[in-house]
Structure 1
Amino acid sequence: MQFKSVIVATVFALSLTACSTVNKIVYRIDVPQGNYLEAATLSQVKVGMNAQQVQYLLGTPVLIDPFNNNSWYYIFLQQKAYQEPEQHSAIITFDKHGIVTKIDLDKPLPDDIKPKINNVIIEKSTKHQKNFWQFWK
């Protein structure tokens, strides 16, 4: 008798989990890799800056071209939860004196990294309502 109830409970539990309509129930964190590139920071890099200034703004590059030390590669890869990974690459090219001559960005960086500002205006009510316990007002 007890064996039957265990079997029925097991079959019932397995049938509930097998018919689940909830997809992607396991939490996945956002995984950023490489140099964290922001549109505001990258826009500060200008032609004519030296290598130290670029490194101060963007950090150490992920890759320096081994055959030509005049190219720095900044690569940013981010995978948000169950979405496809998104990669952005910036290539900074220097002349032989270490001055920036060219800035290449493979695709525009998203501006949604900045927090949204709540522009809701809360207005104070000008009507004064009397409550029954505040009869003196």
Structure 2
Amino acid sequence: MQNLIRTVVLLSAATLITGCSYFGVYKRDIPQGNLITQEMVSQLHTGMSKAQVAQIMGTPLLEAPFSADQWDYVFYLDEAYGDTVEKRLTLTFQNDQVVDIAKSGDMDSNVELNQDSGPGPAVEGAGEGTATPRIGPSGI
């Protein structure tokens, strides 16, 4: 009788352990930084003021610590079941005007941030027709 109880307990434990690893864990896309679109980048040109750049791109994610003449816009997307997307835009200013625009990453492709679908809480402003995704360390 004890062998039967041990066998049943062992098989139940093995079933529970393999069941958890079989289905996997739900994952979400994790966007971080400033969203950089092709439309935004195409509007930038040398000679623009900081105010004009801020109107198009928003506030920069990073400013050079020893000089306010360099703004860095960084976007990073860790797709749940796929690749990662990295974009970086560095703007250098002189006398409050853009003198250099350095790009890295694939600026020609726009990233779809589809946070409205799937399980979980709704995104703030969803359903109003004009939801603007808030991007930060938590991904929303």
Q: Could you state the TM-score of these two structures normalised by the residue count of structure 1? A: 0.66
Partner residue, 2:103: 105
CA-CA distance at 1:87 after TM superposition? 2.6
Following the alignment from structure 1 to structure 2, what is the Cα–Cα distance between the partners of residues 14 and 110? 51
Structure number with higher relative contact order (C-alpha < 8 Å, ≥ 6 residues apart):
2
Partner residue, 2:47: 48
Q: 1:112 to 1:66 in 2, by over 3 A?
A: closer
Gaps of 5+ in 2: 114-140
Identical counterparts, % of pairs: 26
Aligned length: 112
Q: 1:10 to 1:95 in 2, by over 3 A?
A: same
Q: For 1:63-97, what per-residue CA distance to the aligned partner results, in whole angstroms no more than 9, with x for missing partners? A: 1112221110111121111545433211011111x
Runs of 4 or more off by more than 6 Å in structure 1?
none
Q: Could you state the TM-score of these two structures normalised by the residue count of structure 2? A: 0.65
* Larger gyration radius, structure 1 or structure 2: 1
CA-CA distance at 1:56 after TM superposition? 1.0
Q: How does 1:6-85 map to 2 (within 5 A)?
A: 6-19=5-18, 22=22, 25-83=24-82, 85=84
Q: RMSD between aligned alpha carbons? A: 2.7
Q: Note if contact 2:40-2:56 (Cα within 8 Å) is conserved in structure 1.
A: yes
Partner residue, 1:130: none
